[in-house]
């Protein structure tokens, strides 16, 4: 029997003026990303968003809206729910999955921001209603192989993380 595809969530948290977005630097693949991760068995996407943000940042959030759902077009991506949220409590805290936490201007995102995060940030800024569903085309084999040539160690760490072999850099 074929397993259902894994689903995940990502959460966009903007500054009050919506000109900055909260990003985390991951430990397993040291790149900047939106907080997020896999949805556990029996967990709703909303509950996964609350859990993942608190685990990765130390913040408690209130979900403002579901921005949209992204459908995978290949084995490199997952069915992902993107939420927009606001911080309602907690303190920034790094942990076993997070190396750094920072707000970045949406017009000056970090260089090590892999796809599809820039697309997701732009989509979350649009304030479109109702939530949309679209194919996740920015995560594709051409981009994968380009990044493999430009950043071989990061891509190797990404592949290992997909195989559940995490390298958590404690430095």
Residues marked active site are found at 100
Question: Across 20-113, where does the E strand assignment appear?
Answer: 20-26, 32-33, 36-38, 59-72, 79-90, 98-105
Burial pattern 69-88, b for ≥16 Cβ within 10 A else e, equals bbebeeebbbbbbbbbbebe
Residues contacting 152, CB < 8 A, separation 6+: none
Three-class DSSP category at 22: strand
In the block, residue with structure tokens 């090590």: 112
In the Cβ-directed half-sphere of 39, how many Cα atoms lie within 13 Å?
20
């Amino acid at each position: 029997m074929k397993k259902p595809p894994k689903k995940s969530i990502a959460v966009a948290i903007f500054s009050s003026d919506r000109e900055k977005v909260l990003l985390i630097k991951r430990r397993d693949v040291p790149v900047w990303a939106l907080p997020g991760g896999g949805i556990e068995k029996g967990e709703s996407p909303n509950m996964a968003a609350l859990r993942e943000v608190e685990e990765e940042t130390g913040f408690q959030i209130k979900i403002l809206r579901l921005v949209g759902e992204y459908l995978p077009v290949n084995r490199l991506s997952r069915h992902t729910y993107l939420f927009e949220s606001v911080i309602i409590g907690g303190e920034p805290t790094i942990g076993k999955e997070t190396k750094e936490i920072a707000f970045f201007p949406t017009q000056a995102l970090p260089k090590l921001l892999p796809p599809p995060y820039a697309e997701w940030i732009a989509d979350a800024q649009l304030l479109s209603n109702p939530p949309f569903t679209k194919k996740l085309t920015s995560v594709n084999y051409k981009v994968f192989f380009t990044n493999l040539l430009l950043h071989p160690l990061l891509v190797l760490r990404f592949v290992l993380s997909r195989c559940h072999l995490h390298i958590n850099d404690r430095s």
